[in-house]
Amino acid sequence: MGCERLILPKNYEDKLSDLDTEIAIKIVKDQFEKRLADELGLVRVSAPLFVTHESGLNDNLNGTERPVSFDIKDLNKDVEIVHSLAKWKRQALNRYDMHQFKGLYTDMNAVRRDEELDNLHSIYVDQWDWEKIIEPKQRNSDFLKFTVVKIVKAICETETILHYAYPQLQRIVSEDVFFITTQELEDKYPDLSPKERENEICRLHKTVFVMQIGDVLKSGQKHDGRAPDYDDWSLNGDLLVYYPILDCALELSSMGIRVDEKSLVSQCEKAGTMDRLNLPFHKALLNHELPLTMGGGIGQSRLCLMMLNKAHIGEVQVSIWGEEMRRICAQNGMKLL
């Protein structure tokens, strides 16, 4: 299953030994984590692997993905493994004393059982989830862009350090970020699918931030789905880079300025999920008990795949793959861990 979606780059050659791969992964994770924290003023905190359904804290993603759930014998309670920590982080900021720092980040591990497996998608998700408090005057696209540029700077600095250790690796990311909205992208490529539009714009501009994801476009279609209760659809986006090894746009991060009371209600109404407003997290937001924030997730394995010039995410993380996919990957130089 999923083999029909595999991209098999011609003449692909792994530039690192198995041991050097593990060493390089450690370099990327250590160096980027430090630079992300420095650029955004973040402190690392611990985070949950699972939450209760009743809390309303699990990320609903596109609204169709099924969380992995299990019961806790001693508590007689069911819990769900997180999809991401988008809402949990905002609640956590309300608990921690953040006077010294502007926000928090954490290592997020998730299981997404409904993911379609290919070169870039695994059921195991590992990312740096971050969240920071902002002022009302910062709820605008200029501040969103300003933050994106800081994240890209941290990525480029990490690439530079890795290149010193392994000069045979190709550097991928341009520090010059091109910003475009989903509507502008549809207007530019009306006959292409959303994914094809991303590929084309990344071939042109290398590092791209596609903004305003979640709402319906003029065509009546969405560029991509977004849950209605964390990102403000008018103030969010995806960070993409052109990845020549797979000849496609590679998404490194999804992020945005979070919903306030007005956008929460508006987006839940559009999505037909007004029942969520009765959940504890949503009630706290509507009662002005949570701070205004922005945040996102940055894929750890995605970043490693790109910087190590790999062709399959299974070359930088241990997950579950079908035997047929493993066989085809091995025949094409991709050594899945």
Kindly list the catalytic residues: 59, 112, 127, 238, 251, 254
Looking up tokens 């991401």 gives 84
Contact 209, 188 (CB under 8 A): no
The tokens for 54 are 């009743």
C-beta of residue 296 within 8 angstroms of C-beta of residue 258: no
CA distance 336 to 325: 9
**What's the DSSP call for residue 37?**
H
Gap between the Cα atoms of 111 and 281, Å rounded: 22
Encoding tokens for residue 243? 């990845």
Partners of 254 in the β-ladder: 238, 297
CB 326, CB 31: distance < 8 Å? no
CA distance 35 to 25: 16
CB 238 within 8 A of CB 299: no
Using CA atoms, how far apart are residues 326 and 305, in angstroms rounded to an integer?
A: 17
H or E segment to which residue 39 belongs:
helix 18-40
Query: Residue 141 has which token pair?
Result: 């696209």
Q: How many helices (H) and strands (E) does the chain have?
A: 9, 11
Angle between helices 18-40 and 141-165 (to 10 degrees): 150
